[in-house]
C-alpha cells in the first residue's frame, strides 16, 4: 500500500450508532400500511442504499405507494427523529478525527444515506469541520457492495485507491471497500448484528484502535 493519504468513513454504525434508528423508522413506515416488520426483515439491507431497500419493499409487500414517496417519508421522519433521539457519536470518533487532521490525512463520508440526513448527522454530532468530502448513496450509480461510492470519494479527494483506508461496519460496506481496491477496517459494532467481517483487513471493537492501524500504514 502506498503511504496512506485518505480515510473514508461509512456513516451509519460507524460515526454514530444509528442503525437501530433506521430500523425503527422503516418499521414505523411499514406499519402505516399494516405490515408488521422487524429487524430480521430489514437486516439484509444494512449497508445497502435506502433506494434499493424501498424499491424492494414495495414489491415484496405490494405497497400502494411508490418507492420515491416512501423514501421521502422515510428520510423526513428520520431527520426529525434524530434531533430528539439522544444518540451519541461513536466513542473515540473525535479522537480519531483529530489525529487524522493532525497527520494531514484527508477524510470523506461515503454513506448510502441521503445527503440531507448525512448533513443532519454531521451537524448533530459536531464533526462537519473534520470531513473534506461527502458522497451520498444517491450520487452514484451502483450502491454498496459495488465499489462506486468509494471510488467516487477517492476521485473527489484526488487520491488513489491504494492510498485509502475504509472504515465500515457492514458486510456490504466492507465488500464495497475491498471491491474498490482499498484496505478496510471492519468496525465490530455490537448493534450491527449478523454482519460478516471476514473480508476486512483489520477488525476493531473501538474506533481509537484505528489510530494504531494508521501508524502502521
Per residue in 128-170, pLDDT tens? 999 999 999 989 999 999 999 999 999 999 999 999 999 999 9
Q: Which residue has the cell 408488521?
A: 36
Q: Which of 17, 6, 11 is nearest to 122 (CA)?
A: 11
Stretch 88-113: mean pLDDT = 96
pTM of the predicted protein model: 0.88
What pLDDT shows up at residue 41? 83
Stretch 57-76: mean pLDDT = 93
What pLDDT shows up at residue 1? 53
What pLDDT shows up at residue 43? 80
Report the C-alpha gap between 194 and 169 in whole angstroms: 10
CA 101 to chain centre: 21
Mean pLDDT value across the chain: 93
Stretch 76-80: mean pLDDT = 94
User: Residue 90's pLDDT band (boundaries 50, 70, 90)?
Assistant: very high
Report the C-alpha gap between 163 and 64 in whole angstroms: 46
10 Å Cβ neighbour count for 32?
Answer: 11
Residue 193 has pLDDT above 90, yes or no: no
Residue 82 has pLDDT above 70, yes or no: yes
What pLDDT shows up at residue 2? 59
Amino acid at each position: 500500500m502506498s503511504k496512506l493519504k485518505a480515510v473514508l468513513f461509512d456513516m451509519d454504525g460507524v460515526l454514530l450508532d444509528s442503525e437501530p434508528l433506521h430500523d425503527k423508522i422503516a418499521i414505523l413506515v411499514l406499519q402505516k400500511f399494516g405490515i408488521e416488520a422487524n429487524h430480521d426483515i430489514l437486516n439484509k439491507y444494512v449497508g445497502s442504499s435506502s433506494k434499493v431497500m424501498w424499491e424492494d419493499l414495495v414489491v415484496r409487500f405490494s405497497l400502494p405507494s411508490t418507492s420515491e414517496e416512501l423514501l421521502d417519508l422515510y428520510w423526513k421522519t428520520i431527520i426529525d427523529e434524530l434531533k430528539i433521539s439522544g444518540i451519541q457519536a461513536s466513542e473515540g470518533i473525535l479522537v480519531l478525527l483529530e489525529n487524522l487532521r493532525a497527520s494531514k490525512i484527508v477524510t470523506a463520508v461515503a454513506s448510502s444515506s441521503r445527503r440531507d440526513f448525512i448533513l443532519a448527522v454531521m451537524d448533530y454530532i459536531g464533526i462537519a469541520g473534520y470531513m473534506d468530502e461527502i458522497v451520498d448513496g444517491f450520487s452514484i450509480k451502483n450502491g454498496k457492495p459495488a465499489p462506486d461510492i468509494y471510488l467516487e470519494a477517492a476521485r473527489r479527494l484526488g487520491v488513489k485507491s491504494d492510498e485509502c483506508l475504509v472504515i465500515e461496519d457492514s458486510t456490504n460496506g466492507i465488500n464495497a471497500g475491498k471491491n474498490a481496491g482499498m484496505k478496510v477496517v471492519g468496525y465490530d459494532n455490537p448493534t450491527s448484528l449478523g454482519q460478516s467481517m471476514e473480508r476486512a483487513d483489520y477488525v476493531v471493537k473501538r474506533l481509537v484502535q484505528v489510530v494504531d492501524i494508521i501508524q502502521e500504514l
